[in-house]
Amino acid sequence: NSSPQFTTSILYDPARKKEPSQSFQTERDACLSYFAKWNEADQVDFVEQLLSRMCHYQHGHINAYLKPMLQRDFITLLPTKGLDHVAENILSYLDAKSLCRAERVCKEWSRVISEGMLWKKLIERNVRTDSLWRGLAERKGWIKYLFIPRPGVTHRPHKFYRELFPKIMKDIEAIENNWRTGNHNLQRINCRSENSKGVYCLQYDDDKIVSGLRDNTIKIWDRNSLQCCKILTGHTGSVLCLQYDDKVIISGSSDSTVRVWDVNTGDMVNTLIHHCEAVLHLRFNNGMMVTCSKDRSIAVWDMTSPTEIALFDEKYIVSASGDRTIKVWNTSTCEFVRTLNGHKRGIACLQYRDRLVVSGSSDNSIRLWDIECGTCLRILEGHEELVRCIRFDSKRIVSGAYDGKIKVWDLQAALDIRAQTNTLCLKTLVEHTGRVFRLQFDEFQIVSSSHDDTILIWDFLNCSQKDEPSTTTTPQALVQVGRSPSREYSSSSAAGGRAQPQQETDDDDAY
């Protein structure tokens, strides 16, 4: 018997294509001649008819043939058309990781990135949009090589910026690690005087620290030498709160007055008398000032000029008090909005931004609230005494308490309901020997003041040598002012009544 015959199908293999016959070549050339005479629509229709009559294997071959024809290296092609700037603009939208990969695609891509100074542009974009990058640029000095150079300063070559970027990332990683581990460089200002027993309030910038003391004075300290360069006298009681801008310093005191000072000369230009007891906190912003007092009142002032300030009700206020509550007020209509209940004892401090309120209390706890619905999102526990001051940014919460400790908390983790409570406190800083009254912080440092008559500067930027910190932030406070809960608000403070018996009698016993 002869063996059975099997029909086999052979895949279409262009490598095995036979030499075309003469008749095929003639007919093909005729078809191409006709094809060339048709318009584009007719040509497409003709090709579609051909494709519909082909088998699957032929489609595979056509696909492999068309794929490289459909690919276009536009970054390489654009410069050949005199459109280098378009190629540079396209690549300028890449992040660092993508830009690093792009420059390895080919020599032409690398040339476009280099000649377009795209690493420089990436650094400039980060400096414009990120305060951490901005602060690093100023402190490390490489900001002078960005944007439009100052007279006498020229731009560095592309290689400089390419090598600078990973150095910046290394600095940022080191700063974040220092915050997590508490590694810092500490500078100390001793404010002790014959009558002083505490630094109640402070605010700082690149050049100075302005502090309010129990000895009734405001002292201004030089940031470079850490020496007192000016003393403002006029209050007859402890200076409990202050804020300044580029024109004035405004302070509140246990003498029940609010005083306005010229920030440059230190001259007192106005005294505001309204409250009948100690002015505990104040805050001004965009022509409006809020003050709050131990007399349990909150006053809103219209600041037409440093010498003309009148009471004025407008905008939005959040207040907290020794009655254990936080109250939200619509001051444009003078209507009460809601009460945030939860603290077990009086509230000594708060800050809010967007929808988030963070408060500290004499029940030793910190609470995070949603201002829109009034719910408590998280309770942070760890301080052993009254939480006196609190600040937060997009990454962390920093709190100071009567136990003399400053704690750094992970804000993003605190807002995550899945995060374990025991992981929220990143670090506890212990250097003050008395109650912590006030603190501010930015990406690089914490500046704190205490009952121990010291101001401490905790530098997380460079722990091996003392760098000069900067970035002005506003003083911590408890009553806050703003136009709507969708914006970041400035703050001032109010607390009425005594929240906790004090071991020592001083002007801070309102809390």
Phi/psi of residue 427, nearest 5 degrees: -160, 145
pLDDT score, position 483: 33
Cα separation, 408 vs 178, whole angstroms: 11
pLDDT score, position 480: 43
Beta carbons within 10 angstroms of residue 408's beta carbon: 22
The residue ranges of DSSP E strands in 80-232, in sequence order, are 185-190, 199-204, 208-213, 218-222, 228-232
Cα separation, 44 vs 376, whole angstroms: 66
The tens digit of pLDDT for each residue in 371-390 reads 888 999 999 999 999 999 99
pLDDT score, position 481: 42
Cα separation, 45 vs 67, whole angstroms: 20
pLDDT score, position 506: 60
List the helix and strand counts (H, then E) for the chain: 11, 29
Cα separation, 351 vs 177, whole angstroms: 25
b/e per residue 284-302 (b: at least 16 CB within 10 A): bbeebbbbbbbbeebbbbe
3-state secondary structure 97-121: HHHHHHCCCCHHHHHHHHHCCHHHH
DSSP string, 47-75: HHHHHHTS-HHHHHHHHHHHHHHH---HH
The residue ranges of DSSP E strands in 412-453, in sequence order, are 425-430, 436-441, 445-450
Alpha-carbon 382 to chain mean position = 25
- Cα pseudo-dihedral 150, 155, 156, 158, rounded to 10: 150
CA angle 279, 215, 345 (to 5 degrees): 45
Q: Are 445 and 457 in contact (CB under 8 A)?
A: yes
pLDDT score, position 508: 58
Cα separation, 488 vs 392, whole angstroms: 11
The tens digit of pLDDT for each residue in 461-485 reads 977 644 444 333 333 334 444 333 3
Over its length of 511 residues, how does the chain's per-residue pLDDT go in tens digits?
555 454 444 455 555 567 888 888 999 999 999 999 999 999 999 999 999 999 998 999 999 888 888 888 889 988 988 899 999 999 999 999 999 999 999 999 999 999 999 999 999 999 999 999 999 999 999 999 999 877 777 789 999 999 999 999 999 999 999 999 999 999 999 988 776 679 999 999 989 999 999 999 999 999 999 999 999 999 999 999 999 999 999 999 999 999 999 999 999 999 999 999 999 999 898 788 889 999 988 888 887 766 655 544 344 578 888 899 998 887 677 678 889 999 999 999 999 888 899 999 999 999 999 988 899 999 999 999 999 999 999 999 999 999 999 999 999 999 999 999 999 999 999 999 999 999 999 999 999 999 999 999 999 997 764 444 433 333 333 444 433 333 233 333 333 333 333 344 465 544 4
pLDDT score, position 310: 53
